[in-house]
Every structure is written in C-alpha cells, then in structure tokens.
Structure 1
C-alpha cells in the first residue's frame, strides 16, 4: 500500500501480456455490457458517473485511471475493480491490451481533454469525453482525427440531449407546433464559493463560459435546430480579486437564420437555470433546464413537461453504449462538440472587444 503508485504502474505493464477474454462481448448482443474505464476520479466521476453506471443496462465500471493512489482502495472496495484494471496517467496506454475495457471516459479538467482523449483513441478503445469537448476548436479537430484514424466512436457528454423533455424541445424545433421561433432565452449558472481551483485557471479551461456557458450555447442550437450566424458578448465580474484569469459572468447573444435571436447568460456568481422559447403562436419553457434531475416545463397550450424520472447520466451512457454495440451513430458526436467550441472562441473574441458583433459565416 505504501508504494501504491509503483504497484499500479507495474500492474499496467503486466496487463500488456494478459489475454483475459472480455466477458461483456461473450453475452448475447441484446444483453452485452461494455467495460468502461473512467479517467479522472474527481467530483463528477465519484458523485455522478460511477453511481449512475450501477443503474445502466449496457455498461459496467471495470477500470480507473488516476494520479491519486490514495483513492484506489476506496474505489476498489466500492466498485470491485481489479488490480489489473487500475492505471495511472503514465501507463494508461496499456489499456490497449486489456480486452475487459471497451470504452475510455475522459472526465478531467477541460484543458486536459485533448491530450487524454487522443491517448484514449490511440488505445483502440471507444472514447467518451465530457463537455466542453476541449479548450480550442483545433484541439477538438485533433480528437476527432485521432478517433477516425483508430476507427473508434467518439461521444461528447452532453447529458441534456439524452433527457426526455429536452428531446421534446429538440423535436419541436422541427415540427414547430407553436409556429416559427422568434427568440429565446437560455441561462445557466451557480454561485461558486469557494470555487474549484482549476476552474479559475485559463490554461485548464476554466471560466463560466467553458463550464456552464456551453449549456445555454448548446441549448440555443438544439432548441432552434439551426446554427448561429453571428455572436456578440461581454464579460462582467463582481469578484475581480478571484476571477483574475477567467470570466465570472458572460452575457452573449446569438443571431440565427430566419431572424431568430437567442439571449444567453452564464455565471459563477449567480444561480441561473432557465430555457424559454417564444414562437409566433405561443411559447414553452424548461425550468430548470440543465439540472441533474427534475427538468420540467410548460407550454402556452397547457402542455406540462413532467420531470424525466430517470438518471440522466445512466441514460446517456446506455445510449452511447448501444451506439457502439449496434454500430450506429452516437447522439452527440465530436462534430457537435466542435461546433460549440468554434462559437465559444468567437464569444471570447467579441467580449475582448467589449461586445463587437462577430459574424460566424
């Protein structure tokens, strides 16, 4: 136990010579369970993804990648993970030789997504990557290229697109039951005190826009079914002594074809959780729209969108697992994550000019 890191490193090297069959793939196709390895054992992995995996039908937590040896015994006791399925960041390449692992899920600070998603793709395992996809559009393209070259599927962890009420909003963008969309409002934020240290670091992909801003950004896109043609944005802060490198609050406006305007806001200094769509003949909303549970809403005709009632992360992982098992397209591919980061970079560019309108076409 005292030399846990050395042990784990050796176990990874030992695994390279192993030839244990993947029991998941010996099951009938409909009952197949994919072995998932979580990369990064922070708050989201420990409080959301790992517990949710116990509720899935097609996934099983079989491996972990961590730089914190002291976490290993806790995770092994709780989830029964084998010594041979434990890795650190230096030897995770050897997952390539482990047939028990089918998927590598990147759950690290945004600034590390590209480095480890590419490393994961190069093992030949399928890649799930948390949102936002990466810090830059170029990094997103590198991840997509690595997955394509290794012929593995890539899915981005936009859990909301797997949620029932959100999918109703996405459907209405196409069917237009209340007429054409005129404008919408999308807001997501929380009051961070204290703040997670890495979320205050620009190099790590910190800032409200990266962490929470992708929710209203992605929502504006899926609520309209369109891509924005222009953006303008501004940053504000009430705690400049804390937010020295990144944005505390970002207010941005997206212009879409057909004259649709989306007014959006994200913040580390204010509780925000609202999606409103206004149409020619009515309106509808989700409030809250991006919470882990209890997403609900209403429409102007009296329609009530009741809470989903299922674990969002479990549904997300099962959906992505079935895409692998059946070799069908994933719901949220890398190209969707890339589109958000292309727009996000322009949001920062506009904010740096004090709100200048920037064309996206």
Structure 2
C-alpha cells in the first residue's frame, strides 16, 4: 500500500509536466422567511468521473444514485480490482475506466463532462490540472491543495482552460446551515459578536495517508479543521484579517513532524468579531458551531457531520429535513456547471483559495507564536 501511494504521488506530480503545456490560451417572523435553498431545476445531466476510489468516493458514489442532475459515467483509479468492482456496481462501461497514467485520455471521451478529484491532498493540484488540460470541469475535494500557492495555480490554470473549478463544500448546500446563514444576512441575530467552531475526532489507523505529511500536507487542520475555518467565514459573513494559533502534540509517534494533532486558533474579522476554534485528531464529540449576536444566537451540534445537522436558534429549532449532503451537492454543482446557477455560499476555486491562505497563516502562527496578518 505504501509503495502504491508513493507511485500515486510521483505519477500525480508528473502530471504537471504533461498538463501545463496543453493550455494556451430578523428579528421575529416565521421560519419560512428563511428558506434554505431553491430547488435545482430539471435539465441536462452532468456526466461525472470519480477519481480516487476510496471510502469518501464510495460515499459520494452511493449518494449520487439519488441525484437528478448528476450521474457517474467514469472511474479513475490505480487499483484494477476497484475499477472492475465499481464499474459493475455503478454500470460504468470498461471504456470509461482509466488509471493514473491514462486518465488524460478522457479528453476524447464525450461521456465525461467533469471529474471529481478525491485523491490525497498532495495530489489534488496535479490531478486537477491534468483534468483541466483534458478540457473537463474539475470538482475537487477539500482542502483544494496543500498550500495557497498551489491553490492559486489551480484557479489560474482552470480559468485559462475555460473549465469550472468547484470545491467539495457540501455544507454550503445543507438546509439548516443555509437557514442560519440567511437569518444572519437578514439581521435576525443583530450585530455579530462571536463565533466558536469545534472540529475534531479521534483518528484511527496510524498508517493511513491522512497521517502522512507528504500526502496530507499537514494533519487535523487539513482534514477537519478546515470546517471551522470555512464555517467561521460563512457564519460571520466576513473575511478574517488576522490569525493566532497554538499547537499541542501529545503523541509525537503517531503525529510525526509536519502532522498536527491539535491546534487551537483564533481569527479576527474587520467588524471586531473574534472566532475561537479548535482542530484535533485526538478528541471525539467535537462538531459544534456557535454564533452569537446582539439580538440572538445559533447553535449547531453536529454542525458539519454527514447528518442530520441539528441545532437551534434563539427563535426556533433548526429542523430542515435531512437530505444526503453529497446528493444535494452534486445536483447543485451540476446546476452551476450546466445552468450557470449561483451558489448561495460560493463553492468555486476562489473560495477554496481563501481557506488555504488562512491555513498557511495558521501554520505560520504556530511556528512564530505571534499574530499573522492576512491583509
């Protein structure tokens, strides 16, 4: 397994050399006031290839069976047995199955409109660029890269290629999340004063790629901490202007150099709002958002899990019906790509880049022990 991952990393990075030359060119009222999301309209179906057939891809694939606007039409994996079993399970023709050395051939395949990149973090950039060079739209799992520099290159490359770059922010389409965001936008909470985001769980297998600095680009922050970063931004409705951060590592054997175990971090916003957050791989039951304003509050727990999302505001419980997040995400992304629909909370490459800039700053703050300005 380790050798296959090394091969993936090498072949993924080598895709850059192949790909780059290809591009030329509120206070009261009824809860109904805060409708969560406009339904996706009927229309053409987005033909999607899944790249990287791991556990999360399996979740996405199963969820897509209920999609109205997105369908699995291609598979990309370095494991022949997965290609065989997945092609049978999801009725994907053998001709639409590729490995990491041949996936560039999707350029000539009209059965594929977009590729959902669900490979290890360090491979997101080379794989996304390879897909874009083939003229296909890119849906990339978060974090979109391992640093802001790579994220900027991804955004620019996809723009030049004339393809969409969307990031897998499933919470941006979740009903209760959107209800809270819409309440905040309509002034239901008054002046926002504080946000708290707790994101963490106890990670298992010490040999998994998420604990490999080379493949993950970090540790808990890259995997789970990004939820509190992104959540703070859409819950507060501003972009942070500074960060501070502190790291605690209790198990240096499991969490080696470059792999963060626990980081507490703070973000300051232009209005004076402060976000206090925690990212960890060593504690369970940490999936909570709390937004406080002069006229009210919103509390969500769980706030970013696979669902259902639960919580309440100062006015009423959060009770939007649960729909599998990835089903909604893929239908909404199909509407963005095919219909030009605008997401209520952006899910484009620029949105992903903003999170990467903040993550870079948090890691810098951990090392320096000081405040890192973002503007």
Partner residue in 2 for 1:278: 292
- The answer to whether 1:288 aligns with 2:335 is no
- The answer to whether 1:131 aligns with 2:145 is no
Secondary structure of 1:176's aligned partner:
coil
Relative contact order: is structure 1 or structure 2 higher (C-alpha 8 Å, sep ≥ 6)?
2
Tell me the distance in 2 between the aligned counterparts of 1:218 and 1:173.
16
Tell me the distance in 2 between the aligned counterparts of 1:292 and 1:100.
30
Partner residue in 1 for 2:5: none
Partner residue in 1 for 2:363: 348
Partner residue in 2 for 1:231: 243
Q: How does 1:101-116 map to 2 (within 5 A)?
A: 101-116=112-127
Tell me the distance in 1 between the aligned counterparts of 2:207 and 2:62.
22
> Structure 1 residues 259, 167: closer, same or farther in 2, change over 3 A?
same
Native 8 Å contact 1:110 1:206 kept in 2: no
Tell me the distance in 1 between the aligned counterparts of 2:103 and 2:321.
36
Q: How does 1:143-222 map to 2 (within 5 A)?
A: 143-195=154-206, 197-204=208-215, 205-222=217-234
Q: CA deviation at 1:203?
A: 1.9
- The answer to whether 1:66 aligns with 2:77 is yes
Q: TM-score, normalised by structure 2?
A: 0.86
Tell me the distance in 2 between the aligned counterparts of 1:176 and 1:133.
32
- The answer to whether 1:249 aligns with 2:300 is no
Native 8 Å contact 1:183 1:279 kept in 2: yes
Alignment partner for residue 121 of structure 1, among 132, 151, 168?
A: 132
Partner residue in 2 for 1:9: none
Aligned Cα RMSD in Å?
Answer: 1.3
Tell me the distance in 2 between the aligned counterparts of 1:308 and 1:117.
33
Tell me the distance in 2 between the aligned counterparts of 1:104 and 1:216.
27
Native 8 Å contact 1:229 1:256 kept in 2: yes
Count of aligned residue pairs for this structure pair: 330
Secondary structure of 1:316's aligned partner:
helix
Partner residue in 2 for 1:43: 55
Runs (5+) with no aligned partner, structure 2: 1-40
Native 8 Å contact 2:309 2:322 kept in 1: no
Native 8 Å contact 2:87 2:97 kept in 1: no
Native 8 Å contact 1:294 1:307 kept in 2: no
Q: Per-residue CA shift, 1:84-120, capped at 9, x if unaligned?
A: 0000111111100000001111001111100000111
Q: Per-residue CA shift, 1:323-358, capped at 9, x if unaligned?
A: 11113445411000000000100000000123x111
Tell me the distance in 2 between the aligned counterparts of 1:177 and 1:260.
17
Partner residue in 1 for 2:374: 360
Tell me the distance in 2 between the aligned counterparts of 1:329 and 1:118.
24
